Amino acid sequence: MIPVEGVEDQKIAVLGLGRSGKATAAALAAGGAQVVAWDDGVDTRAAAEAEGMRVLDLTRDDAWHGISMLVTSPGIPHLYPKPHPVIAKAYALGVPVDNDIGLFFRSYATAGWDAFDRPPRVIAVTGSNGKSTTTALIHHILRTCGRPTQMGGNIGTGVLSLDPAQDGEVVVLELSSYQTDLARALTPDVAVLTNLSPDHLDRHAGLGGYFAAKRRLFAEGGPDRAVIGIDEPEGLYLAGQLATSPADDRVIRISAGQKLDRGAWSVFARKGFLSEYRKGRQVASIDLREVKGLPGAHNHQNACAAYAACRSVGLAPRDIEAAFHSFAGLPHRSQLIAERDGVRYVNDSKATNVDSAAKALQAFQKIRWIAGGLGKDGGIAGLSPFLANVAKAYLFGHSARDFALEIGQTPHEIFETLDQAVAAAASEAETGDTVLLAPAAASFDQYPNFEKRGEHFTALVQDLDQA
């Protein structure tokens, strides 16, 4: 646990008592704060009280006497579509609102660092797609190369549940737009933007607000090094804003397709090869085609981002390359589940939007595509340019019929459930095919989250071996 600094004897309220909320309350108490808490769920409040937490109804005006700060969980709206009533009350009363990410950045560094030979570092990763894989890959490379490291944030451990810093340690954080938008302190040593595509637009009142939330990671604290994906206009704009001149190597531009052989420092992937350029000269090259844990151009972009971040903290190219080959990938993200009778089964349940599904569809040939669930605004018409490799689509769930109308002449069949779609795809698949779960939709029509959907797909594939 990382005790929160600067809160001794202050009365601080915590809104939301899920995993991050409970961890935040404990870290505040460890820092000497008097913690009160509230959650909209009756059962959640009862469980918290049973654990000894002081629950206070923050919807009441008289509950706010003496409260100096409100700390909210990231999933609770603080501005759009409208602020949660408790957060709105804090704004009206002039009470500062923060989240666990802000508390982490103000508390991670301590006086004990003076005794370290090498100061700890923080690498923070954000973006629309690939940030979990990039975060896990950076952590894997650091660990494989013998650097002390922890991973947390939107993946793995909550930030305030991490251990206090070690000499020379590198903490790798995945940060969502919900987390970066509200944090009052954002001071990573290395900040990474993988890419940007429309997502969570209701929480940010449009793409501009969404980008602004991501941009805060780079603008608020000024990282020593910024790794920026420039394959979208927003990334190109951000890189231009941060660099003071073409020779400014504090900005590393990355791309999954463009040749970036000009400028101070760049890393790009083309035709399966990663290249690093410094001041117009190539200094390293890695063949990514045989790295099984990173299939497809979208994962090559993740590799570029991770490579650049690890180079920023002093790792050598050949050590990074060796670590690439031992990376197994993350569950539900282009995860190879099985190979059966010459057919590969790939679980990309995390592909919940058009952009991430498009990347998955470009990563494989001869695809038996399983898609469906609860469709998002705009449907899947945007996938039309990426369907050339699809032999047949197996559409299931709430939006299956809508999806069928949007995929043109692509052969398809409609099913009620994932079980039926997997059975049909497996029975029709031929040697060399890939049965790919890339839903392009949310899971909430039939599953509580994309993880459960991916786990079900994995179980169904494993059952095929027993049939």
In order, the DSSP letters of 129-160 are SSHHHHHHHHHHHHHHTT--EEEEESSSB-GG
- Other CB atoms within a 10 A radius of the CB of residue 214 amount to 25
128 is in an annotated binding site: yes
Is 129 assigned to a binding site? yes
SS3 assignment, position 278: strand
Give dist(CA 254, CA 232) in Å, integer: 11
Closest to 16 in 3D by CA, of 76, 103, 84, 62 = 76
In angstroms, what CA-CA distances link 31 with 25, 28, 114, 378?
10, 5, 20, 47
**Of 439, 413, 461, the residue nearest 360 (C-alpha):** 439
Q: Which domains does the chain have, with CATH numbers?
A: 11-98 (3.40.50.720), 108-325 (3.40.1190.10), 335-464 (3.90.190.20)
What pLDDT shows up at residue 465? 72
Please tell me the predicted confidence (pLDDT) of residue 467: 57
Distances (CA, A) of 331 to 24, 155, 335, 432: 27, 12, 6, 23
Distance CA 459, CA 226 (A): 40
DSSP code of 163?
P
User: Could you give the CA distance from residue 60 to residue 58 in angstroms, rounded to a whole number?
Assistant: 5
Show the tokens assigned to 353: 């939007």
Q: Which residue has the tokens 């509950």?
A: 63
CA nearest neighbour of 194 among 333, 367, 314: 333
384 is in an annotated binding site: no
Q: Tell me: is residue 133 an annotated ligand-binding position.
A: yes
Please, is 429 exposed, middle or buried when counting C-beta atoms within 10 Å of its C-beta (0-12, 13-18, 19+)? buried
Whether residue 132 is annotated as binding a ligand: the answer is yes
Question: Does the annotation place 41 within a ligand binding site?
Answer: no
Q: How many CA atoms lie within 13 A of 167 on its CB side?
A: 5
Q: Do 415 and 421 form a contact (C-beta atoms < 8 A)? A: yes
Q: Which of 122, 288, 130, 258 lies closest to 194, judged by CA?
A: 130
Q: DSSP per residue over 180-232, as a string?
A: HHH-S----SEEEE------SHHHHTSHHHHHHHHHHHHHSS--SEEEEE-SS
Q: What is the pLDDT of residue 68?
A: 98
Q: Supply the pLDDT for residue 199.
A: 78
Q: Is 240 one of the annotated binding-site residues?
A: no
How big is the chain by its Cα radius of gyration, in Å? 23
One pLDDT digit (tens) per residue for the chain, 467 residues: 999 999 999 999 999 999 899 999 999 999 999 999 999 999 999 999 999 999 999 999 999 999 999 999 999 999 999 999 999 999 999 999 999 999 999 999 999 999 999 999 999 999 988 899 999 999 999 999 999 999 999 998 999 999 999 999 999 999 999 999 999 999 999 999 999 988 788 899 999 999 999 999 999 888 999 999 999 999 999 999 999 999 999 999 999 999 999 889 999 999 999 999 999 999 999 999 989 889 888 899 999 999 999 999 999 999 999 999 999 888 898 888 999 999 999 999 999 999 889 989 998 999 999 999 999 988 999 999 999 999 999 999 999 999 999 999 999 999 999 999 999 999 999 999 999 999 999 999 999 999 999 999 999 999 997 65
**Residue 400 phi, psi dihedral angles, 5° rounding:** -55, -45
Those residues with Cβ within 8 angstroms of residue 240's Cβ, 6 or more apart along the chain or in another chain: none
Largest CA distance in the chain: 69
